Amino acid sequence: MSASTMAGSPGQTETRAIKRSPYPGWFFTPAAIVYTVLFLAPTFASLYFSLTRWTLFDATFIGLDNFAQFLREPFLIKGLINTVIYAVVTSGLKVVVGLLLAVMLTSQIVARGYLRSVIFFPVLVSTVGVGITFTVLMHPTQGMINEGLAIFGITGPGWLTDPNLALYSVALVDVWKGVGLATVIYIAGLVAIPRDYYEAARIDGATPWQNFWYVTLPLCRPATSTVITLSFIGGLRTFDLIWAMTKGGPGFASDTIASVIYKQYQAGFYGLSTAGNVVLFILIAVLVVPLTMFLNRKQGHE
């Protein structure tokens, strides 16, 4: 601050402070105002409202009751477990499938450019549209998937109506939709690996498998950590696809924290759902910060 006030004339460049910040402080104010109005103010307001019983018309301060209620919520434990399952399954599959697709799409195959765009295309489609489409495809009796299976004499399961299966069906659709992004990140990571390593490996007589396992995999670790972080956070706060496909159902079988929070909001428990958002924020921080630190540390040891 003091450095910027000193910088009255642009000619004074002697002190280090001025070199660090060549612009006056008020240059930051537009951004600061936007950030304060749109981010800081709502964040602190929501911290306050999470401590109240709020009807939108008036708010009564009730201390930590909302958090106690939210954590007592019978569906919440299920929602918590589901959230973690969903995040692990989707990010795991995206890493494995994305890497395999990227390896395939960086090798010399026919119609490579076309296949790359085919893989990436679902990323561009609206999530809700994808959700509705797959809900129709996964209809237990009239859906195209089960009708296709019926041709081979297989009775397909109720993809979205079987309580044990619904969450995984949604996760699979999430992978179908999101794997294109993981593939692109991996393609960028793979082409950045210098050819020299592969030549050296070939001279040493490495098999293609050894090439992949000892050269490709370790050297695309930055891409892997990006994919894991992005898809894991995405999986933790997932909402749109689940809501479009099952609304957390059947019953509470595919509820995640985000859908539990939304249902509280829908029911008019505004204070309670705000408290839920604070819980979700803490959960993401608790899971993702150590994960990122772990991934970055490994990267440093390369």
Q: Token match 């699979």: residue?
A: 172
Contact flag: residue 247 with other proteins (CB under 8 A)? yes
Q: Is 61 helix (H, G, I), strand (E, B) or coil?
A: strand
**DSSP for 104-155, written as a single string:** HHHSS-TTHHHHHHHHHHHHHS-HHHHHHHHHHHT-TTT-HHHHHHHHTT--
Nearest to 15 by CA among 5, 25, 27: 5
Q: Token match 């490994």: residue?
A: 298
Buried b (16+ CB within 10 A) or exposed e, 155-187: ebbbbbbeeebbbebbbbbbbebbbbbbbbbbb
CB atoms within 10 A of CB 252: 17
Work out which of 76, 263, 273, 277 binds other proteins, going by CB under 8 A: 263
Contact flag: residue 60 with other proteins (CB under 8 A)? yes
Contact flag: residue 248 with other proteins (CB under 8 A)? yes
Q: Token match 């793979």: residue?
A: 190
From the list 79-87, 193-201, 263-271, 274-282, the region that binds other proteins by CB under 8 A is 263-271
Q: Which is nearer to other proteins, 135 or 256 (CB)?
A: 135
Residues numbered 123 to 152 that lie near other proteins (CB under 8 A) are 135, 139-142
Q: Token match 């609304």: residue?
A: 247
Number of residues in contact with other proteins under rule CB under 8 A: 32
From the list 96-104, 106-114, 173-181, 266-274, the region that binds other proteins by CB under 8 A is 266-274
What would the two tokens of residue 257 be?
A: 């924290």
Q: Nearest approach, Cβ of 238 to other proteins (angstroms)? A: 19
**DSSP for 154-182, written as a single string:** -----TTTSTTTHHHHHHHHHHHHHHHHH
Contact flag: residue 252 with other proteins (CB under 8 A)? yes
From the list 99-107, 221-229, 261-269, 282-290, the region that binds other proteins by CB under 8 A is 261-269
Show the site string, 145-184: x = touches other proteins by CB under 8 A, - = not.
-------------x-xxxx---------------------
Taking phi over 0 as left and psi of -120 to 50 as alpha, with beta for the rest, 268 belongs to: left
From the list 30-38, 207-215, 247-255, 283-291, the region that binds other proteins by CB under 8 A is 247-255
Q: Nearest approach, Cβ of 182 to other proteins (angstroms)? A: 30
Show the site string, 61-80: x = touches other proteins by CB under 8 A, - = not.
--------x----xx-----
Which residues of the chain form contacts with other proteins (CB under 8 A)? 53, 55-57, 60, 69, 74-75, 135, 139-142, 158, 160-163, 247-253, 263, 265-269, 272
